[in-house]
Amino acid sequence: MRILVPAVLGFVLVATAAFAQNVTPGANPAAKLNDYPTVARADYVFGCMAANGQTRQALEKCSCSIDTIATILPYDKYVEAETIMSMMQTTGQQAEVFRATGMFRDMVADLRRAQAEAEVTCFY
């Protein structure tokens, strides 16, 4: 019975890790390209349309934009960079930590590069 416990525990850990990553064991790695939740995509499109007009054309371009970003930047990196950008826009000593730390600037730079690629791909 003791031999089964480590095996079962190992299976549970592997299954939990796969579930947490939203990927089943042995799944196609291309599934990771679509790891952005629908609500995150919709939130981006709403914000983009607010900045670019509430038209059908803006909807198409903004949808293209988040799809392009999603192919470049994994969702967890997108969330991290968005959070850091929000913190950089605040005032005070704590916000300065986000502006002064090279690692945080690099994460934001990755998001900005993905956004620039999306703009070139979708808006021109």
Instruction: Supply the DSSP string of 1-54, one letter for each residue.
Output: -TTHHHHHHHHHHHHHHHHHTT--TT--GGGGGG-S-HHHHHHHHHHHHHHH-S
Return the closest-CA partner of residue 81 out of 40, 42, 48, 49: 40
| 2 compared with 43, residue with greater pLDDT | 43
Asked if the structure places residue 35 within a domain, the reply is yes
Would you state the pLDDT for residue 33? 56
* Domain assignment present for 90: yes
Domain tally for the chain? Answer: 1
Instruction: Look up the domain containing 94 and give its range.
Output: 30-123
User: In sequence order, what are the residues at sequence separation of 6 or more whose Cβ sits closer than 8 angstroms to the Cβ of residue 117?
Assistant: 68, 69, 72
Task: Give the C-alpha separation, 110 to 81, whole Å.
Answer: 8
76 found inside a domain: yes
Q: Is the dihedral of CA 9, 15, 20, 25 positive or negative?
A: positive
Tokens for 120, please give them: 């070139």
Q: How confident is the model at residue 80 (pLDDT cuts 50, 70, 90)?
A: very high
- Say yes or no to pLDDT of 72 above 70: yes
Do the domain assignments include residue 6?
no
Place of tokens 């959070």: 83
Given pLDDT bands bounded at 50, 70 and 90, which one contains residue 92? confident
Q: What is the pLDDT of residue 37?
A: 96
Phi-psi region of 13 (alpha: psi -120 to 50; beta: other; left: phi over 0): alpha
Q: Is residue 15 part of a domain?
A: no
Q: Does any domain span residue 86?
A: yes
Q: Kindly report whether the global pTM for this prediction surpasses the value 0.85.
A: no
Q: Which residue has the tokens 């934001």?
A: 108
Examine residue 24 and state whether it is found in any structural domain, yes or no: no
Would residue 37 count as lying in a domain? Answer: yes
40-56: per-residue pLDDT in tens? Answer: 999 999 999 999 999 99
